[in-house]
Structure 1
Amino acid sequence: MVTWALLILGMVLKYSGVSEAFVPVFGTIHGVVFLSYCVVTVFVWVNQKWSFGRGVLGLVSAIIPFATLPFERSMLRKGLLEGGWRLAPGGDAPQGFVENVQAWCLRRPLLAILAGIVFVAVLASVLIMLGPPIPKG
């Protein structure tokens, strides 16, 4: 949520003629946090066995400014964020590719965190090279 506020502040400063310098900085920070939120949402989606619609809603909530807060509060109220990691060592046996990836991450958390950071950094770099979603002009 903080990154949404920073990005919006940067756009207000840009379009009010104060300075354009903040949008690239705040936009990059927001983009990295957005991608990280999406990775974590998918991780929780798999762990909690959310329905397809609920998981997609979690991802879509990251697109709408400040919508992650009501989404997360709703999931808490419904008890859909409770419990430990079911695929952790000694837990449920993974079923399928996605659960096997999650089980691997839970068995090797430091390596998984490093892989997640690399994944988000590479994806963010590619998106930065592609440019803004709305072309200038």
Structure 2
Amino acid sequence: MTYPGPGRLLRVLADAEAVTWSLLLIGMALKYLTRTTDLGVSIAGPVHGFVFLAYCVVVVVVALDQRWGPKTLVLGLFSAVPPFVTIPFEQSVRRRGLAGPTWRLRERAAARTLPERALHAVLQRPLLWAVVALLAVTVVFVVLLRLGPPVG
């Protein structure tokens, strides 16, 4: 079985983040401009929040595996804040060859630092760790939901 490489995974999450931004903006227009319903915000808001967190996790994992510098990592994380910026960020990363088709840290010899060794272990059992990551993002998401919306 073949698993998506870092470039493909980043692209999928960047696109998903942009799509959920679209849904949230449509929901906000319905709620605040037309004052017809807040259903769009109450559905798209949590979905976007979840995908936002998942995108951030993927950016950190890809950055570690592909040895991005701090500037690229920070730009990747901040690209999720304004609407639709994840797409040009991902395209820039792809053009510059910063997210290839294969995981560098699948090979044990490539893993030198503790975070790299941890990611190497994750890449040896990707399905197990995908479930763990999904659960971790879900826990963070639920905690943030309980804390309430970002604005009063």
Same-fold call, TM cutoff 0.5? yes
Q: Quick one: which of 19, 37, 46 aligns to 1:19? A: 37
Q: Aligned-pair distance for 1:99?
A: 1.1
Q: Does 1:44 align with 2:62?
A: yes
1:128 matched residue in structure 2 = 145
Q: Aligned-pair distance for 1:83?
A: 4.3
Aligned length: 134
Identity %: 44
- Whole-Å Cα distance in 2 between the matches of residues 105 and 24 of structure 1? 34
Relative contact order, higher structure (CA 8 A, sep 6+): 2
CA displacement, residues 14-41 of structure 1 (integer Å, 9 cap, x when unaligned): 1121101221210010011111111111
Unaligned runs of 5+ residues in structure 2 are 1-17
Aligned runs of 1:7-86 on 2, under 5 Å?
7-15=24-32, 16-86=34-104
1:7 aligned partner, one-letter code:
L
Does the Cα contact within 8 Å between 1:86 and 1:92 map onto a contact in 2? no
SS in 1 for 2:109: coil
Unaligned runs of 5+ residues in structure 1 are none
- Whole-Å Cα distance in 2 between the matches of residues 83 and 22 of structure 1? 36
Q: Aligned-pair distance for 1:45?
A: 0.2
> What's the RMSD between the two structures over aligned residues?
1.2
- Whichever structure has more helix as a proportion of its residues is 2
| Greater Cα shift, 54-63 or 96-105 | 96-105
1:97 matched residue in structure 2 = 114
